[in-house]
Each structure stands twice: as structure tokens, then as C-alpha cells.
Amino acid sequence: MKIIVLTPIYASTTTMQGATPVVHYFAREWVKMGHEVKVFHLGHKFPRPFYWISKRFQHQLNTRLGMLVPVNYPKDTDYEADGVRVFKRSIKKIKPHSRYSQRQINYALSIISKECEQNGVPDWFIGHWDNPQLELLCALKKRFNKPACLVLHSNKFDFERLYGENAKAMLAQMDLIGFRNVAAQQDFESKYGKPKKSFIAYSGVSEAFLKAGATNEKTITTPVRNFVFVGSLINRKYPTEILTALSRAYPDGDFSMTYIGDGADKERIEAEHKRLGSKGSVKFTGRIPREDIVDYLKQSDIFVMISKGEIFGLVYLEAMALGVIPIGSKNEGIDGIIRDGENGFLCEAGNIDDLTKVLNELKNLSSDKLFSLSNNAKFTAQAFSDRGVAEKYINALL
């Protein structure tokens, strides 16, 4: 099968810079299966003053927005990563979260169409995120008479904001719509009705984590003491609140907290640790390669991340693959995969009191219960391999 993927965010093994690599993991696995995959990485390009300002106030913007803002003017390039051919092209945009001009849509459409005309039309056009992919998919579907799939990376939807009264008609043209979790699918259907066909595009756990979990017999001593967080240190992930809750559950400081990742909230965490009397062991590793995280997870008992706006959260599953018991957020992307009290725990996003309650419960669990939770977490992760979720994605296209 020939596939063309359109996405505004694309991080491969050669271009990891804090962006999510989820689309590349799908594309990479499809290539391994024998499919031909080309990716048009259609990143946005703002006026140059935007980058001057974002570079100067990067820390403040990251903290306020809860995300990593771009600081470098983008450059177009072509490259290959893991057998996936990638065309990185930038589309001009006046301001964030706005609709692209028709001129820029036509520009993107022309470069994709040229590739199709010169090297063959794909069997499927796939778009991740809706802006500008929804408009482009509608145009490509009409021009080449091939099916289109749109995968949405949100839990809440308001297409009318960008597309006005045409939103429903545009969505109805999609042959397949993917969602990153069940809650997102339900929200979409409540507003726009059921698509022609839909599926859940879960992320997958790499073989490195699954193999490490299969050969690593997890032993968790009681009470639990070793905690780990993996992700960007930004507001919406509440890394500082985790430390505050730990200090309440462990007033003597008998705990170890490792933060894997980087971001604007590192200084807040350090300040909170100092305010709390520097009790407990707090370690920062910075951002490290995905597979290198395995060794840290082997040494950890509990993975904790109580984010808001977490569409899926692959890092939870990666920790679970090693038998690390996860604590995630209720009503977020991982809810339903983490089953409270069975293979992990759930609490309200960012709620220090709720997290402290969970931590106190964990402290009082028997070794047998911890062993059961750990094994259940590992068993859950095994159903979400990179290969397995990529196959389910492909099967949805058939």
C-alpha cells in the first residue's frame, strides 16, 4: 500500500527536539510491514519577529502556555528516517491557532500534488491534526479520487471556530476518522455524529521497553520510595505539585524523585524543594533518548504524571511495560487504560490533595498487592506494542 501522511508535527529518530514522535512511530512500522510511506511535514512559519520574541522570552512563554514554543525560523528540507521519506515544508501563518490563508493552502496542495503526479498517487491520504490537514485532505480527495483519513489529537472539538458553517460538510468527506482515546471519540460524536468509519489510534510501546520488561522481574519493596516522572517540565503536567504531594506523604523525606525531561518548570521544582527543607532525593536527568529511559524505569517503583490535556500519554505505557506502577489523571487520555486500583492509580489532574491520598494508600499496600499491580501494569502494556498498534491502524484503512 502507498500512503501519504500530512502532519504539522513530525519528530523522527534523527530530528527529536522535544516534539512528539507519535506519527513517525506509525510510519516507521508501516515501512517495516512493506508499505511505501511518504510524509509531508507541513510546519508553520510565522513572521520573523515572532521567533525573536519567543527566543527572548522563551522561559516565560513556556511556563505560561504550558508548551515548548518554537524559537528558530524553520527551514525546508528533505530527508529519510527509518525508511520513511520526509518532505519538510513550512507554511506561512500570521498568528498561532489561526486558519491558514487560501494562498498557503494552495501552496501546500501544489507541492503534494506535484509529488503524486511525478511519483504515483497513494492508496490513502492521511492527515494528523486538523489544521490545515482537513482542508488539504478534502482537496486531495477531490483531485485524485482517493480515500482520506483524518486523525485528531484533541479531547475537545470546535471545528466551527476555524471552518465556520462548512465544518460538518468537510468532516463528512472523510472516509475514516481516528481518535487518540475513547473520550475524544465520544466528544466528537456528541457534537458531529458518528463518522462513516472510525478507530482509536493508540500509541505503541517500543520493543526495547517490552523486551526489558519481559526479562526484568520487578521487585517493589514496601513502603514504596522510588518515583519517576518522564516528560516536559511544564505547567500542565504539574511536576512541582508532585514534589509537594510527596513531601506531605513522606514528611521525613524518605523518598526519591527522578525527573526525566526538561522545561521551564525546573526552577519552580528546585525552589519548592528548597522551600520544603530539601527533604527527599530529587534528581534531574534532562532530556534523554527514549530507549535510555529503560534503566531509570528499572530502578523506579512508581511512575507519576498527573497532567491536564494529555491526549494519550505513551510514557505511562512505557513505564508499565517495565512493571512500574503508574499514577495518571482521571478523565484524560490514559483513563481507561490505567484502571484505578487494578494496574495503577488515577487522581484529579494537578490536585495535590488527591495525589497525596493516593501516595498514602500506596505506602500502606502489602508486597503481594504491589506485586499484583506491577504484573497487571506489565500485562496491559504488552497489548500496545509499536507493531501491534500500527497493524490495527492499517487494518482500519482496509
Burial of 243 (0-12, 13-18, 19+ CB in 10 A): buried
Per domain, the residue ranges of the chain are: 2-201, 207-381
Which amino acid is residue 155, in one-letter code? N
> For residue range 275-317, what is the model confidence (pLDDT) as tens digits?
999 999 999 999 888 778 999 999 999 999 999 888 778 899 9
Average pLDDT over the chain reads 91
Assess whether pLDDT exceeds 90 at residue 39.
Answer: yes
pLDDT confidence of residue 63? 55
Handedness of CA 180, 186, 191, 196 (dihedral sign): positive
pLDDT confidence of residue 376? 96
CB 200 within 8 A of CB 178: yes
Average pLDDT, integer, range 141-154: 97
* The CATH number of the domain covering residues in 207-381: 3.40.50.2000
Same-fold call for 2-201 versus 207-381: yes
Assess whether pLDDT exceeds 70 at residue 361.
Answer: yes
Assess whether pLDDT exceeds 60 at residue 360.
Answer: yes
- For helices 58-65 and 48-56, what crossing angle results, to 10°? 90
Burial of 62 (0-12, 13-18, 19+ CB in 10 A): buried
C-alpha 103/C-alpha 335 separation (Å) is 41
Banded model confidence at residue 321, pLDDT cuts 50, 70, 90 = very high
C-alpha 262/C-alpha 16 separation (Å) is 14
Write out the DSSP string of 65-86. HTS----S----EEEEETTEEE
Average pLDDT, integer, range 6-18: 72
The answer to whether domain 2-201 has CATH 3.30.830.10 is: no
pLDDT confidence of residue 201? 94
Assess whether pLDDT exceeds 70 at residue 61.
Answer: no
pTM higher than 0.85: no
Assess whether pLDDT exceeds 70 at residue 60.
Answer: no
pLDDT confidence of residue 152? 97
pLDDT confidence of residue 290? 76
pLDDT confidence of residue 252? 94
CB 243 within 8 A of CB 359: no
